[in-house]
């Protein structure tokens, strides 16, 4: 069995042309140093690299041609690719990525979403938290320690939304899921992205100054797809290439899904004529669960096994977007092509459908106990675990929009929130009624520097408020080794939005998920909890690093804070996290950390006395 798998994987590798030497079948004892060059470059879709694309489809597939969905727009890329280069390595490999920033005036950092950077805290890639933003070049150097399906992305401003992201897969020589599939091809990694037909900065500023919506114009699958918003835009969609996933009849294939969405675009994933067996999420194995569809939120990953047990043909893999992907009916298709099927598009129609396909749905949007609905708190981890009944520390974190005089948007003297008409009022995403501000120097690598606007969980913050708008570097402090529980509440007082929560440096167990109504408050959830109304799943709870919080409800997560450092936690929607729906988890002290690497760049304010 084992030999069979390796041979197949080797064949797949050979068939797909030039690959990085580290993209290989994993064998115990064979660990390597894997080097990558990431040039961050400002770029454009349909550039001269595309020659006569989209008129000539073959031209769209040329190297450095970013065809996307055939709409012309500026973007930011790594190596003129969308998505950027995939890193596919084996557990224990040393990953060295040289990031060269060639932007005219912007800086960058890259976060390795899913790697916990244990003993390599300095490479987590959060500007002003773990490092200074990169001006020139920076070498990331860390072991591929957490196996599974992960991804990397820019953590600076809106750069992820502009195109700086890619897959990061860590395979294992002894895969605990080995009996669940026959094929695990590097080509079966699917990175999903919501796509705008303007630069993300245009959209962000337009939205924040009430001049534009914040809706997506479509979904791309590994950077490919057709323009599903053409009708809304009054144009004719051009013919751009679709992603093709080729499968071998009769075999089971491990397909790795990554959501790199930036707006709030939960995506329903389903495959015509096939069910999906979920075997892992965010790199952690689960007891396989077979479903008809699943919903994937920004930052999440799902590994699914797809059995090619249907007649040889072409089938749609469907991606239907919700919330911000709803108004312009964002739908995308990839072709599931059986070997031997004609090189054609499936005959079934592909049109937007925001309802779940018949049968079960895993990870449904803003619902926890509907019929045929299975949440992350319902599934079970493949590796058994029993959590202690008590925790050392508990934090309540409320996510919501607030009607406040956010100083980025309003001027209390000239145009306060309540002084403009309703259509000019925009609400501010906040965490515990605060907006997170980054320190001016990274506390991890410059521990001697003070954090100017530091505020701690549970402490008075009024000194950081102007009018009704409060902003500070919000800190949750825990001692090394303490067990922590986070009660994440999506209050939902305004709108019907969920928030995908992401914690750096750790996985957590999803021990409860619930919904109180279309809106709730932290207070209400606390009372429910005090009355014994929130049962924790302490046995075999699924481990994740990104999880949705249902609107008007809560998600409870637990973990052992055994990784010292400064870890950002935030809503994974770019437009929310970038205005401060975030906080910092500080675990342990400076004595628990490795020494700052020699020559590590420094930064900070320059404000001499006068
Ligand atoms: C905003 O500022 C104005 C002017 O100071 C004040 O009247 C108002 O209460 C504040 N808050 C909101 C939500 O408008
Ligand atoms: Cu959010």
CATH of the domain at 318: 2.60.40.420
Asked whether the beta carbons of 28 and 173 are under 8 A apart, the reply is yes
Q: Counting ligands in written order, which one lies closest to the CA of residue 488?
A: 2
Alpha-carbon distance 269 to 192, whole Å? 10
Place of tokens 């470059």: 41
Residue 14 has a pLDDT of 39
Does 371 fall in a domain?
Answer: no
Q: Counting ligands in written order, which one lies closest to the CA of residue 469?
A: 1
Query: What distance in angstroms lies between residue 371's CA and the mean position of ligand 2's atoms?
Result: 26
**Residue 479 C-beta-side C-alpha neighbours within 13 Å:** 4
Query: Is the beta carbon of 417 within 6 A of some atom in ligand 1?
Result: yes
Q: Which atom of ligand 1 is nearest to the CA of 418?
A: 14
Whose CA is closest to atom 7 on ligand 1? 418
Task: Give the residue-averaged pLDDT of 377-391.
Answer: 97
Q: Counting ligands in written order, which one lies closest to the CA of residue 429?
A: 2
Arithmetic mean of pLDDT over the chain: 95
Q: Is pLDDT of 1 > 90?
A: no
Query: Is the beta carbon of 370 within 6 A of some atom in ligand 1?
Result: no
Q: Is pLDDT of 290 > 80?
A: yes
What strands, in cross-sheet order, belong to the sheet with 553-560?
428-431, 393-402, 483-490, 553-560, 508-515, 543-544
**Residue of 410, 412, 421 best suited for mutating to test ligand 1, as the one with most atoms within 8 Å of CB:** 412
Task: Give the residue-averaged pLDDT of 438-457.
Answer: 96
Q: Which atom of ligand 1 is nearest to the CA of 417?
A: 14
Residue 64 has a pLDDT of 97
Does 524 fall in a domain?
Answer: yes
**Residue 463 C-beta-side C-alpha neighbours within 13 Å:** 8
Query: Is the beta carbon of 562 within 6 A of some atom in ligand 1?
Result: no
Q: Counting ligands in written order, which one lies closest to the CA of residue 414?
A: 1
Q: Is pLDDT of 9 > 80?
A: no
Q: Is pLDDT of 10 > 50?
A: no
pLDDT (tens digit, 9 = 90+) per residue, 45-97?
999 999 999 999 999 999 999 999 999 999 999 999 999 999 999 999 999 99
Does 376 fall in a domain?
Answer: no
Query: Is the beta carbon of 19 within 6 A of some atom in ligand 1?
Result: no
Residue 344 has a pLDDT of 97
Residue 4 has a pLDDT of 38
Helix (H) or strand (E) holding 160: helix 159-162
**Residue of 413, 415, 466, 468 best suited for mutating to test ligand 1, as the one with most atoms within 8 Å of CB:** 468
From residue 270, alpha-carbon distances to 205, 311, 337, 441, 498 in Å are 34, 18, 15, 45, 21
Query: Is the beta carbon of 468 within 6 A of some atom in ligand 1?
Result: yes
Asked whether the beta carbons of 373 and 367 are under 8 A apart, the reply is yes
Confidence label for 539 from pLDDT (cuts 50, 70 and 90): very high
Confidence label for 11 from pLDDT (cuts 50, 70 and 90): very low
Among residues 93, 78, 75, 77, the alpha carbon closest in space to that of 34 is found at: 93
Whose CA is closest to atom 9 on ligand 1? 418
Q: Is pLDDT of 564 > 70?
A: yes
Confidence label for 495 from pLDDT (cuts 50, 70 and 90): confident
Does 566 fall in a domain?
Answer: yes
Residue 38 has a pLDDT of 98
Q: 491-525 in b/e burial notation, b at 16+ Cβ within 10 A?
A: bbbeeebbbbbbbbbbbbbbbbbbbbeebbbbebb
431 shares its domain with 481 = yes
Q: Counting ligands in written order, which one lies closest to the CA of residue 406?
A: 1
pLDDT (tens digit, 9 = 90+) per residue, 209-257?
999 999 999 999 999 999 999 999 999 989 999 999 999 999 999 999 9
Q: Is pLDDT of 376 > 80?
A: yes
Confidence label for 18 from pLDDT (cuts 50, 70 and 90): confident
Q: Is pLDDT of 44 > 50?
A: yes
304 shares its domain with 436 = no
Question: Over 56-120, what HEC string results?
Answer: CHHHHCCCCCCCCCCCCCEEEEECCECCCCCEEEECCCEEEEEEEECCCCCCECEEEECCCCCCC
Query: What distance in angstroms lies between residue 467's CA and the mean position of ligand 1's atoms?
Result: 7
Query: Is the beta carbon of 424 within 6 A of some atom in ligand 1?
Result: no
Query: Is the beta carbon of 405 within 6 A of some atom in ligand 1?
Result: yes
pLDDT (tens digit, 9 = 90+) per residue, 452-469?
999 999 999 999 999 899
Query: What domain range is 209 assigned to?
Result: 8-365
pLDDT (tens digit, 9 = 90+) per residue, 340-356?
999 999 999 999 999 99
413 shares its domain with 459 = yes
pLDDT (tens digit, 9 = 90+) per residue, 160-192?
999 999 999 999 999 999 899 999 999 999 999
Task: Give the residue-averaged pLDDT of 311-339.
Answer: 98
Q: Around ion ligand 2, which residues have CB less than 5 A away?
A: 499, 571, 573, 576
Whose CA is closest to atom 8 on ligand 1? 418
447 shares its domain with 576 = yes
Query: What distance in angstroms lies between residue 54's CA and the mean position of ligand 2's atoms?
Result: 36
139 shares its domain with 283 = yes
130 shares its domain with 75 = yes
310 shares its domain with 398 = no
Euclidean distance between the first and final Cα of the chain, in Å?
75
Per DSSP, 381 falls in state B
Query: What distance in angstroms lies between residue 298's CA and the mean position of ligand 2's atoms?
Result: 10
321 shares its domain with 410 = no
419 shares its domain with 467 = yes
Does 599 fall in a domain?
Answer: no
Query: Is the beta carbon of 102 within 6 A of some atom in ligand 1?
Result: no
Q: Is pLDDT of 7 > 70?
A: no
**Residue of 403, 404, 467, 493 best suited for mutating to test ligand 1, as the one with most atoms within 8 Å of CB:** 467
Task: Give the residue-averaged pLDDT of 271-277.
Answer: 98
Q: Which atom of ligand 1 is nearest to the CA of 404?
A: 13
Q: Is pLDDT of 108 > 50?
A: yes
Residue 5 has a pLDDT of 42
Query: Is the beta carbon of 412 within 6 A of some atom in ligand 1?
Result: yes
Residue 496 has a pLDDT of 87
Alpha-carbon distance 247 to 250, whole Å? 9
Q: What is the pTM of this model?
A: 0.96
155 shares its domain with 20 = yes
Task: Give the residue-averaged pLDDT of 409-426.
Answer: 96
Domain boundary at 320, 350, 365, which?
365
Residue 525 has a pLDDT of 98
Greater pLDDT, 473 or 449: 473
Number of domains in the chain: 2
* Beta strand extents in 498-562 (DSSP E only): 499-503, 508-515, 543-544, 546-549, 553-560
477 shares its domain with 564 = yes
Among residues 568, 577, 575, 596, the alpha carbon closest in space to that of 439 is found at: 568
Query: Is the beta carbon of 467 within 6 A of some atom in ligand 1?
Result: yes
Residue 3 has a pLDDT of 36
Does 446 fall in a domain?
Answer: yes
Does 3 fall in a domain?
Answer: no
423 shares its domain with 538 = yes
Query: What distance in angstroms lies between residue 486's CA and the mean position of ligand 1's atoms?
Result: 32
């Amino acid at each position: 069995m084992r030999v069979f798998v390796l041979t197949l994987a080797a064949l797949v590798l050979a068939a797909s042309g030039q690959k990085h030497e580290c993209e290989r079948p994993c064998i115990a004892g064979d660990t390597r140093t894997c080097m990558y060059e990431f040039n961050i470059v400002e770029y454009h879709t349909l550039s001269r690299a595309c020659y006569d694309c989209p008129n000539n489809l073959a031209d769209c597939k040329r190297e450095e041609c970013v065809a996307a969905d055939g709409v012309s727009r500026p973007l930011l890329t790594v190596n003129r690719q969308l998505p950027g280069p995939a890193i596919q390595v084996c557990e224990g490999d040393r990953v060295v990525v040289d990031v060269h920033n060639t932007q005219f005036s912007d800086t960058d950092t890259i976060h390795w979403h899913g790697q916990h950077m244990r003993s390599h805290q300095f490479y987590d890639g959060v500007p002003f938290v773990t490092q200074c933003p990169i001006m020139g070049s920076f070498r990331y150097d860390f072991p591929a320690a957490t196996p599974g399906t992960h991804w990397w992305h820019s953590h600076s401003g809106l750069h992820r939304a502009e195109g700086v992201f890619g897959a990061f897969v860590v395979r294992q020589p002894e895969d605990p899921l080995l009996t669940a599939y026959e094929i695990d091809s590097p080509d079966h990694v699917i990175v999903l992205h919501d796509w705008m037909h303007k630069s993300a900065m245009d959209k962000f500023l337009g939205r924040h100054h009430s001049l534009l919506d914040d809706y997506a114009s479509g979904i791309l699958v590994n950077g490919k797809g057709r323009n599903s918003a053409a009708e809304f835009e009054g144009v004719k969609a051009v013919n751009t290439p679709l992603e093709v996933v080729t499968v071998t009849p009769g075999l089971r294939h491990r397909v790795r899904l990554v959501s790199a969405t930036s707006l709030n675009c939960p995506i329903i994933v389903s495959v015509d004529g096939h069910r999906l067996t979920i075997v892992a999420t965010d790199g952690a194995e689960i007891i396989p669960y077979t479903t008809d569809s699943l919903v994937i939120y920004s930052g999440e990953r799902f590994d699914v096994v797809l059995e090619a047990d249907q007649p040889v043909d072409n089938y749609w893999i469907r991606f239907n977007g919700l919330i911000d992907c709803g108004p312009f009916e964002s739908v995308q298709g990839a072709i599931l092509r059986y070997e031997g099927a004609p090189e054609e598009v499936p005959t079934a129609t592909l049109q937007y459908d925001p309802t779940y396909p018949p049968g079960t749905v895993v990870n449904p949007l803003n619902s926890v106990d509907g019929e045929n609905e299975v949440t992350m708190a319902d599934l079970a981890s493949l590796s058994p675990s029993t959590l202690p009944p008590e925790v050392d520390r508990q934090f309540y974190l409320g996510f919501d929009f607030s009607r406040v005089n956010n100083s980025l948007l309003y001027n209390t003297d000239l145009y306060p929130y309540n002084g403009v008409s309703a259509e000019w009022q925009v609400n501010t995403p906040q965490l515990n009624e605060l907006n997170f501000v980054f320190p001016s120097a990274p506390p991890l690598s410059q521990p001697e520097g003070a954090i100017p606007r530091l505020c701690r969980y549970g402490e008075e913050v009024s000194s950081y408020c102007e009018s009704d708008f409060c902003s500070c570097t919000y800190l949750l402090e825990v001692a090394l080794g303490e067990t922590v529980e986070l009660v994440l509440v999506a209050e939902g007082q305004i709108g019907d939005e969920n928030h995908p929560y992401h914690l750096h440096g750790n996985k957590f167990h999803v021990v409860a998920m619930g919904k109180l109504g279309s809106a709730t408050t932290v207070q209400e959830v606390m009372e429910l909890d005090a009355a014994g109304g929130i049962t924790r799943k302490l046995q075999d709870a699924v481990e994740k690093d990104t999880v949705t919080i249902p609107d008007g409800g809560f998600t409870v997560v637990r973990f052992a804070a055994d990784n010292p450092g400064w870890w950002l936690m935030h809503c994974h929607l770019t437009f929310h996290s970038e205005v401060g729906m975030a906080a910092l988890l500080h675990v342990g002290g400076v004595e628990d950390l490795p020494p700052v690497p020699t020559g590590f760049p420094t930064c900070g304010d320059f404000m001499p006395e006068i």
